[in-house]
């Protein structure tokens, strides 16, 4: 039984990491209705830039600030160059544009920093916590716990930001209805710039945590694919959805791999989350926390 709990907790904690990536998607979708496929590439770009600065000998927090600056510039440039010409286009066009953006970001990151994998050390060891394994016999990584803590802090602050500040209210207004928001004088382009900046910040945090765990390499871009089932499970518009979805996906993925995997030959982590999310959708077509859409003719 303690093995079951160990797998479960390990899955939940890695689910938090998925949520971090999914969060970036949700932020942009909420505020602009754009399904930003480039989020994975942004994570990769941010992590690679951060490591690049660190390896140049820049002080940790200064590198963090520099990378954040780069992400802000990137977000603003995306808004200006990619999104603004595409205002009023159907959502699928915007989605395709972000796939194009994915290619640009992947190319740009490797062009600037080279394509070899890097290690990243952010000062937290990936080792089991002694007192927990002594007390219960379960191995729970210190790193995973720290990542979960960071994610929780991030989510709380974002939730507060969205619900309590002036900008947050403007963001929600824009998400609700672009034209109505414009009509009451909310500067749409400024708001989009802010959203992309925040998404860049989330990408940076996710990139640092994932990079520290698995190394900064091209495979980071595939994180987007890990985050998608989390998104459809939780609902595209919901921050709590991203968290709960991440937890469900993380836990069930690990449990399925351990208990179901041996029967079908293993390697089911790639598609199991999607099938799970699909089954969820059959019951609730807009995800767990998504907004219910009423179709009218």
Partner 1 sequence: MLYREAGQFKASYAEDQQIFAIRQDRIAVGALLVFAFVVVPLVANQYWLSAILTPLLIFALAAIGLNILTGYAGQLSLGTAAFMAVGAFAAYNFVLRVPGIPILVAFVLAGICAALVGILFGLPSLRIKGFYLAVATLAAQFFVVWALTKFGWFSNNSSSGVISAQKIEILGYTVDTPAGKYLFTLTIVAVLALAAKNLVRSSTGRAWMAVRDMDVAASVIGIRLMQTKLSAFAISSAYCGVAGALYAFAYLGTVEPEGFNLDMSFRVLFMVIIGGVGSILGSFLGAAFIVLLPIFLNTAAPLIEHGLGLQMPPGFMSNLELIVFGALIVFFLAVEPHGLARLWQIGKEKLRLWPFPH
Where does this chain bind partner 1 (CB under 8 A)? 35, 81-82, 85-86, 89-93, 95-97, 99-108, 110-111, 114-115, 225, 228-229, 231-232, 236, 264-265, 267-268, 270-271, 274-275, 277-278, 281-282, 285-287, 295-297
Note the Cα 240 to chain centre separation in Å.
13
| Closer to partner 1 by Cβ: residue 72 or 225 | 225
**Residue among 232, 166, 224, 170 at smallest CA distance from 199:** 224
Length of the chain: 297
Residue 14: half-sphere exposure toward Cβ, Cα within 13 Å: 19
| Closer to partner 1 by Cβ: residue 13 or 38 | 38
Note the Cα 253 to chain centre separation in Å.
17
Smallest distance from the beta carbon of 225 to partner 1, in angstroms? 7
Alpha carbons 157 and 133: distance in angstroms, whole number: 31
| Closer to partner 1 by Cβ: residue 186 or 281 | 281
Smallest distance from the beta carbon of 65 to partner 1, in angstroms? 26
Smallest distance from the beta carbon of 244 to partner 1, in angstroms? 17
| Closer to partner 1 by Cβ: residue 58 or 108 | 108
| Closer to partner 1 by Cβ: residue 65 or 279 | 279
| Residues 6 or more apart whose Cβ sits within 8 Å of residue 101 | 37, 38, 41, 78, 82
Smallest distance from the beta carbon of 274 to partner 1, in angstroms? 4
Smallest distance from the beta carbon of 141 to partner 1, in angstroms? 27
| Closer to partner 1 by Cβ: residue 85 or 123 | 85
The DSSP line for 205-220 is: HHHHHHHHHH-BSGGG
Three-state DSSP class for residue 128? strand
Smallest distance from the beta carbon of 288 to partner 1, in angstroms? 12
């Amino acid at each position: 039984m303690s093995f079951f709990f160990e797998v479960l907790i390990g899955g939940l904690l890695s689910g938090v990491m998925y949520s971090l990536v999914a969060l970036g998607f949700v932020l942009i979708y909420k505020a602009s209705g754009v399904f930003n496929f480039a989020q994975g590439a942004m994570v990769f770009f941010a992590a690679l830039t951060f490591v690049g600065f660190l390896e140049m000998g820049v002080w940790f927090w200064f590198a963090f600030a520099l990378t954040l600056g780069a992400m802000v510039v990137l977000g603003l440039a995306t808004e200006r160059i990619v999104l603004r010409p595409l205002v009023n286009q159907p959502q699928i066009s915007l989605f395709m544009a972000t796939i194009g953006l994915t290619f640009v970001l992947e190319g740009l990151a490797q062009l600037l920093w080279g394509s070899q994998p890097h290690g990243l050390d952010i000062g937290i060891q990936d080792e089991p916590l002694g007192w927990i394994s002594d007390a219960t016999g379960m191995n729970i990584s210190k790193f995973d716990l720290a990542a979960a803590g960071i994610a929780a802090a991030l989510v709380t602050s974002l939730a507060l930001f969205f619900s309590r500040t002036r900008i947050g209210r403007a963001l929600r207004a824009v998400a609700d209805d672009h034209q109505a928001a414009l009509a009451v004088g909310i500067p749409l382009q400024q708001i989009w710039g802010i959203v992309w900046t925040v998404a860049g910040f989330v990408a940076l945090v996710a990139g640092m945590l994932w990079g520290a765990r698995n190394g900064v390499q091209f495979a980071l871009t595939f994180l987007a694919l890990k985050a998608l089932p989390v998104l459809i499970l939780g609902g595209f518009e919901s921050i709590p959805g991203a968290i709960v979805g991440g937890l469900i996906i993380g836990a069930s993925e690990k449990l399925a791999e351990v208990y179901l995997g041996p029967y079908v030959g293993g390697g089911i982590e790639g598609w199991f989350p999607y099938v799970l999310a699909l089954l969820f959708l059959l019951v609730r077509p807009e995800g767990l926390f998504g907004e219910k859409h009423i179709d009218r003719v």
